[in-house]
Each structure stands twice: as C-alpha cells, then as structure tokens.
Chain A
Amino acid sequence: MYLATTGRTDAPPRTSGVGRRVPGTVLALGAVSLVTDVSSEMVTAVLPLYLVLGLGLSPLQFGFLDGMFNGATALVRLLGGRLADRGGRHKRVAGAGYLLSALSRLGLLLAGGATAGIATALAADRLGKGIRTAPRDALISLSGPPETLGRSFGVHRAMDTTGALLGPLAAFAVLQATADAYDAVFVVSFCVGLMGVLLLAVYVPAGSGTVPMPVTARPRTALRDPVFRRILYATALLGAATIGDSFLYLLLQRGLDLPTALFPLLPLGPAAGYLLLAVPVGRIADRMGRRLPFLLGHAALLGAYALLLAPIAWPTAVAVLALLGIFYAATDGVLMALAGPLLPVRGRAGGLAVLQTGQALARLLGAAGFGAAWTLWGQRPALWLAGIALTGALAAAWRVLPAPAREAS
C-alpha cells in the first residue's frame, strides 16, 4: 500500500500526476464502500416489505420510522468529522461507523417484531453512516497528492455506486432462493457488512499520516478560511436550487405515463451514468481545475429542468436521466476534490463534514421549497421557478467560487 500512496522513488519526476496509479488506500476504501453498499442496499430494498407485510406495520408508521433519523444524520456527520480530526483517528472513527451499521442488521434480526427494537437498529445504522462519511472522505483526500484527487474520488464513487446497484440484486437473489425469508437477507447483509469492516481494518492504513503534508499549512479552522467559506456558500446556494431527484422521476413518470412497475427502475439510469462518468470526469477535473466541472455539472441539471419543460417523450427522458448522471459525476466527488486540499490535515474531516452537511441541508430545503411551489402554483410554474433559481445560483456561484489559480494551493 505504502509504495502506491507515497510514490516510488525511482519513478520519473511527476508532471501532472495524471498517469500515476490510483493510491491503494483509495482502492481499499472503494472496496469497503462497495461491500458496505451491497450490505445496506440489500436491507433498504426489503425493509418496507419486512415492516409492512412481515410485521403488519401501517405505511404511515413505516414512513415515521424511515424518516425519523434523517435529520439527526447531518449532526452526527459533523460529530464524526470532529472526532476523526482529534489526533488523526480517521480510520478508527470510520471503522466504528462501518461496524455500527453492520451490527444494526443483527439488531433488526433480534428485534423480532418489536417496533422499539427496529427503531433502535435503524438509528444505529444511520448513526454509523453519519459517523463514517467525513473521515472516509478525509482519508481519500489525504491518500494522494492534491493533483490526482479528482480521479481518486471518481474511483471511489464509481465503486460505491457499483455496490449500490448490486445490493438490491443480492437481496432479490436471497429472497428468490428462500421464498421471501427476510431474516436471511438480514443475516447475509450482516456478513457482507462485517466483510467491509474487515477490509477496512486490514487494507486501509491508519490515520492521516499516510501522506507527508505540512501540518502548519493552514492552521486556522475551516470556517475561518475565506476560500473554504466561499466554496461552502456556493455549494449551499446551488444545493438550495436543486429540486430533489424524486421530483424529477415523478415528472418523468407523469410525462411519459410510465407503468408504475417501471417507476423504481428510473434511478438506475443516473446511477449507471454516474458509475461510467465518475472516473473520466474526475480526471478532467484534475487537469483543468475542479471549479469548472462543478459548475458545468449544475448546468447539466439546469438542462434537465429545461428538457422537462418541453413535452416529454422517450428521447427526452433518456436525456434527462443522462444529464442527472452527469450532474452527480461532476459535482459529488469533484466537490470533495475541490475543497479537500484547502483544508488543513488536522481539520480536514471536520471541514468536509461541514461542507457535506451544508449541501445536504440546502438540498433538503430546495426539495421542500419545490414541493411547496408545486402545491401552490402547479407543476410547470414550479419547474420554471426552479430553473430561474438554479440559473441565479449558477451565476452567483461563478462569482463566489475561488478562481482556479488558488484552488490547489
């Protein structure tokens, strides 16, 4: 692992960093995320079935259980970032998060039909997910030189998405083999989750000491850094102008008059696009700076809104899904690569957590606002409004985001 992360001494002098190997830590973390996503998406796919049909919960109770901890995750993420930064315990904090989520499957199994037990298990899963995200992204950003971070995050996100696509298939296979034994899905998910923890423990080097980096580069905390603050503002602004994927899918379904059975398949389109484009877009971002791809990604989303305003036929639907895939590929990992190098090593997990939480909260706000606009004025005016808001946010972000020269200082 070490050879790959620190660069070989006999290697030719690094030029742009593009031709070098992906750091082993990134591949290891990608494998951990892949395996963990298989584990968690398996459960996500069967949970409604298990709760509503297996246990006889009403949909409303299920909705309550499902939505209960979503808000808390944001706060836990901040906590995870702070904990990881204290003494560079990224690996240990991330590992605790992965372990907690794996153990939560066991909790689901042991809870039987008790609602309180199920709620506790779901809370543990969300807690684990919240804790691990920022330390993991900090580990990725610390595993290689800043010039190749776009590619590193691209590789990680592509592996992550692969796991998310495989999870439901695995659940499907288990249910098919056992004639709908939900407990078997939980047991398999638990074993797969433990595998992820094991991969992390064995193959991911500990702490932030992987890469020799001047600790005193930026001694101030993230929020005091004006450049980081600009990225945070721009991200929040753009986030508040996104309407939420579910609304996009709903608009597509209504426009196409899509059979409801096909509706759950719509998210596969952007996921596939994301999977294919994450690495190339990351490399492009490494070469030309991350600011422009990040903005262009949001422009792709704007294009999707515009297409939805026209009469929807199959080609436009395909284009909308493709644009959504481009949006994710050009904004998710790229944002981490944009902000990561600006943050001091000792404050990186915390800073990334602030950025991710700000984006998530802004997107939540954006989706809620779009829902309200839809209810008040109807579907088309709401979409027009979203388009205008995103155009404004893009223009503002163009000015607010730091110029490329300062980006990877």
Chain B
Amino acid sequence: MKAGPLRLAAVVIAVLLLAGGSLGYVLHARHRERPPQQAAADGSFTLDEPGLYFRDSATGRVARLPARGAPRVTDGPSCDRFYAAGERALCLRKLPGLPARTRALVLDRRLREVRGVTVPGIPNRARVSASGNLLSWTAFAVGDSYATSGFSTRTSVLDLRTGYLIKSIEDIPLTIGGARHHAPDVNYWGVTFARDDNRFYATVSTRGRTHLVEGDLRNWSAKALRENVECPSLSPDNTRIAFKKKVSGDPRAPWRLYVLDLAGMREHPLAEPHSVDDQAAWLDDSTVGYALPGRDGRASDIWSVPADGTGEPRLLAPGGSSPVAVR
C-alpha cells in the first residue's frame, strides 16, 4: 500500500495515454478523405443512354459504361447497391450510424427520387421487374440473430401500381416438398421478378438449407422448387435462372455460377472458375454479368460469361459492382 500514490499516478498516466490514443485516432479518421456518402446524381446523368450501369467502387456512385467503347461516366447517385429496369431504378444506401439502416430509393429514368423507404439492416440485394412496376430489396438484419446460423435477412417488395409495401415477405405461406412449412428461422433473399409482374423467384433458407422458391404475389403463396439455389436471376426471356450454387464447404470459395433451365429443370455450370457471391444480372439473353473480388487492390470487378456454359469470363468493368444492362 506504500506504493499507492505512485501506482495511482502510473495508472492515471496509462489511462490518459490510452484515451489520448483513442481520441487521436478518431480525430484522424474524422479528417481523412473519403468519398461523400449521400451524393445525388448530376442532372445530366440519366438512364436514357443505353449501356452497362454499375456502382463504381472508388467513388461509391453509379457509373455508366456506354456500349461503344466511350469512357466511363461516374456522375450517378451514391448507392451501395443498384439496379434498374423499365421506368424505374432502385438505389440502396446504407444510412450512417448504428443500428444499421438502409434507405431504399426508387428513382425514375432521370434518376430523380420518386419514393423512399427506410428499413433496418445492411443493403444486400436489389431488383426491379422488367416493367419497373415491382421492386424488391434485401437487407441483412443486424441484432436479431435468433436462428442458429447467426444472421437473418429481410426482403421487401414494393408494388408501385398500388403503392403497397410488403416490408418483409417472410410471412408468405410456404410449401416445401408439398407440405406447409412452419419454422421460426425462415429467411428470404435475392428476389427476381417474372415479366407478368406477379410471379417471382427467390432464395429461402430454413433449417440450414437453401431452396429456390417460386412465389405468387396475387395469391400470396410460395413453393420450394429445388434445393441449393441462391440469388436467382431470371433471364429476360423468362426461361432460365442464373444462380449461385454451393459446391464446397470451404468458406473461402463456396459458390459457383450455374444456369437452370426451367422447362426441364436441368442445370449446368458456367465457365467462371471462381467462387461468385453475387446476384447475377443478365446482360442479354445469352450473357450474365456479376461482381468478383477485385484485382490489384480494387474492391470488386465486374465480369461477364456466356450463359450456356461455353467460352470464358471477360472483364467488363474494373472497380465495379451491381451491374445492370440498361437498354
């Protein structure tokens, strides 16, 4: 106890050093340069010009790669996930702070805001039906890891014809193997819409397995079609589904891109040899685009590969993600 004052002084100094270090780093992080998070599109940047639209990872803004080899333009809105079809675009933005919230912005072809919805969770997947009438997004929800797998997703569907928003589709009556399925651990993600603006496909995960489900919005029902299908993406002619299939237990490379023929329910792998963790986007009826972890220190790159399993992957847009072909 004699060393009391000395010891106290040492503790106080150490605490001050640690507090100073914390504060110094926070101030450093505060003032370092980072791209603006909430930029809107420049007035001149619209969806009128056809081409590949995507998220530019360096700026966090939507960019366009025109069809005829012209340079990239990155004056779109800031989005963490982007998709566009028909008359509408969908831009998911993570709102700053905790707990995580996602702002889903519905944009018109001039990229002006038509409607905005805030949901809890981290932006994950975005899709718009071919007409632009139906929109869906998936947010990865933080803080309710009640299932053993330790994560949960929440998928919303917005019908612009009626303005009706389904905040989470997890209550849709689901049949698996012909039997009505009840489980607390049902998670949906990766919706893709059919041309009739009613049917949709999505992934459902329950009891440690993933299934491809076909859903009907009008009848409000869903049935599982097939196991081990994630992030489905329906081809423009509505005959095939591109998806990621879990092929390995190795957490570093679990998935491969496959295409499923809906008429015969036969699947074939695509020529991409890497593990793809993305909801692919059909660039036309014979090509799919997707993001892969980037080379040379980039966050991600966009690649394309023929949908029939032939050929080989082609690098489309270095430093990009969320590809979508706008016609």
Are A and B part of the same complex? Answer: yes
Q: Please tell me if B119 contacts chain A, counting CB pairs below 8 Å.
A: yes
Q: Give the segment of B94-102, B262-270, B304-312 that binds chain A.
A: B94-102
* A179-B277 CB under 8 A given contacts A191-B22, A371-B185: no
Q: Please tell me if B5 contacts chain A, counting CB pairs below 8 Å.
A: no
Q: How far is the CA of A375 from the CA of B99 in the complex (A)?
A: 30
Q: Mark B229-266, 1 if CB is under 8 A from A, else 0.
A: 01000000000000000000001101000000000000
Q: Please tell me if A11 contacts chain B, counting CB pairs below 8 Å.
A: no
Cβ-defined contact, B184 with A184, below 8 A? no
Q: Give the segment of B45-53, B129-137, B145-153, B282-290 that binds chain A.
A: B145-153
The residue from A67, A184, A198 contacting B25, defined by CB atoms under 8 A apart:
A184
* A261-B144 CB under 8 A given contacts A63-B149, A198-B14, A375-B183: no
Cβ-defined contact, A247 with B146, below 8 A? yes
What residues of A have a CB within 8 angstroms of the CB of B7 in the complex? 202
The residue from A56, A180, A202, A264 contacting B99, defined by CB atoms under 8 A apart:
A264
* A188-B142 CB under 8 A given contacts A62-B151, A198-B15: no
> How many residues of A are in contact with the other chain, CB < 8 A?
59
Q: Mark A55-77, 1 if CB is under 8 A from B, else 0.
A: 01111111111110000000000
Closest to A47 in B: B142
Q: Please tell me if B143 contacts chain A, counting CB pairs below 8 Å.
A: yes
Cβ-defined contact, A53 with B122, below 8 A? yes
Q: Is the interface of A mostly helix, strand, loop or mixed?
A: helix
Cβ-defined contact, B142 with A174, below 8 A? no
Closest to A247 in B: B146
Cβ-defined contact, A49 with B142, below 8 A? yes
* A49-B122 CB under 8 A given contacts A66-B145, A188-B25: yes
Cβ-defined contact, B122 with A48, below 8 A? yes
* A264-B300 CB under 8 A given contacts A179-B34, A184-B29, A194-B18: no
Cβ-defined contact, B151 with A246, below 8 A? no
Of listed B183, B251, B299, residue having the most chain A CB within 10 A: B251
Cβ-defined contact, A49 with B37, below 8 A? no
Q: Please tell me if B1 contacts chain A, counting CB pairs below 8 Å.
A: yes
What residues of A have a CB within 8 angstroms of the CB of B18 in the complex? 191-192, 194-195, 198
The residue from B101, B124, B205 contacting A52, defined by CB atoms under 8 A apart:
B124
Q: How far is the CA of A46 from the CA of B96 in the complex (A)?
A: 12
Closest to A186 in B: B25
Cβ-defined contact, A64 with B22, below 8 A? no
Cβ-defined contact, A59 with B97, below 8 A? no
| Nearest Cβ on chain B to A248's Cβ, whole angstroms | 9
Q: Please tell me if A45 contacts chain B, counting CB pairs below 8 Å.
A: yes
Q: How far is the CA of A113 from the CA of B145 in the complex (A)?
A: 23
| Nearest Cβ on chain B to A255's Cβ, whole angstroms | 13
Cβ-defined contact, A49 with B100, below 8 A? yes
Cβ-defined contact, B97 with A192, below 8 A? no
Q: Please tell me if B182 contacts chain A, counting CB pairs below 8 Å.
A: yes
Residues 84 to 143 of chain B near chain A (Cβ within 8 Å): 94, 96-101, 119-120, 122-124, 140-143
* A56-B97 CB under 8 A given contacts A2-B1, A64-B251, A371-B148: no
Cβ-defined contact, A260 with B120, below 8 A? yes
Closest to B101 in A: A261
> How many residues of B are in contact with the other chain, CB < 8 A?
63
Of listed B148, B183, B189, B254, residue having the most chain A CB within 10 A: B148
Cβ-defined contact, B119 with A260, below 8 A? yes
Cβ-defined contact, B26 with A177, below 8 A? yes
The residue from A59, A171, A178, A202 contacting B11, defined by CB atoms under 8 A apart:
A202
What residues of A have a CB within 8 angstroms of the CB of B150 in the complex? 62-63, 66-67
Closest to B146 in A: A246
Q: Please tell me if B168 contacts chain A, counting CB pairs below 8 Å.
A: yes
Q: How far is the CA of A56 from the CA of B125 in the complex (A)?
A: 12
What residues of A have a CB within 8 angstroms of the CB of B207 in the complex? 375
Residues 107 to 135 of chain A near chain B (Cβ within 8 Å): 115-116
Q: How far is the CA of A57 from the CA of B252 in the complex (A)?
A: 10
Cβ-defined contact, B143 with A264, below 8 A? yes
Closest to A254 in B: B184
Cβ-defined contact, B184 with A250, below 8 A? yes
| Nearest Cβ on chain B to A224's Cβ, whole angstroms | 35
What residues of A have a CB within 8 angstroms of the CB of B167 in the complex? 260
Q: Please tell me if B21 contacts chain A, counting CB pairs below 8 Å.
A: yes
Cβ-defined contact, B22 with A192, below 8 A? yes
Q: How far is the CA of A198 from the CA of B124 in the complex (A)?
A: 41
| Nearest Cβ on chain B to A374's Cβ, whole angstroms | 5
Cβ-defined contact, A246 with B26, below 8 A? no
Q: How far is the CA of A183 from the CA of B32 in the complex (A)?
A: 12
Q: How far is the CA of A61 from the CA of B244 in the complex (A)?
A: 14
Of listed A115, A168, A260, residue having the most chain B CB within 10 A: A260
What residues of B have a CB within 8 angstroms of the CB of A191 in the complex? 18-19, 21-22
Q: Please tell me if A312 contacts chain B, counting CB pairs below 8 Å.
A: no
What residues of B have a CB within 8 angstroms of the CB of A379 in the complex? 182, 184
What residues of B have a CB within 8 angstroms of the CB of A202 in the complex? 7, 10-11
What residues of A have a CB within 8 angstroms of the CB of B300 in the complex? 56
Cβ-defined contact, B140 with A175, below 8 A? no
What residues of A have a CB within 8 angstroms of the CB of B154 in the complex? 260
* A187-B25 CB under 8 A given contacts A52-B140, A66-B145, A66-B150: yes
What residues of B have a CB within 8 angstroms of the CB of A46 in the complex? 98
| Nearest Cβ on chain A to B173's Cβ, whole angstroms | 13
What residues of B have a CB within 8 angstroms of the CB of A192 in the complex? 18, 22
Q: Mark A82-103, 1 if CB is under 8 A from B, else 0.
A: 0000000000000000000000
Cβ-defined contact, A371 with B184, below 8 A? yes
Q: Please tell me if A233 contacts chain B, counting CB pairs below 8 Å.
A: no
Of listed A53, A116, A172, A199, residue having the most chain B CB within 10 A: A53
What residues of A have a CB within 8 angstroms of the CB of B11 in the complex? 198-199, 202
Q: How far is the CA of A198 from the CA of B18 in the complex (A)?
A: 11
| Nearest Cβ on chain B to A103's Cβ, whole angstroms | 14
Cβ-defined contact, B96 with A175, below 8 A? yes
| Nearest Cβ on chain A to B214's Cβ, whole angstroms | 21
Residues 157 to 179 of chain A near chain B (Cβ within 8 Å): 168, 171-172, 174-179
Closest to B246 in A: A60
Q: Please tell me if B301 contacts chain A, counting CB pairs below 8 Å.
A: no
A-B pairs with lowest CB-CB distance, top 7: A246-B146, A264-B143, A181-B29, A184-B29, A63-B151, A191-B18, A178-B29
A-B contact pairs, 16 of them (CB 8 A): A49-B98, A59-B124, A60-B149, A62-B140, A66-B150, A115-B251, A175-B97, A181-B32, A191-B22, A195-B14, A246-B146, A249-B144, A250-B146, A260-B167, A375-B183, A375-B207
Given contacts A62-B140, A198-B11, A202-B11, 6 further A-B contacts (CB under 8 A): A60-B151, A191-B18, A195-B15, A246-B146, A264-B120, A375-B207
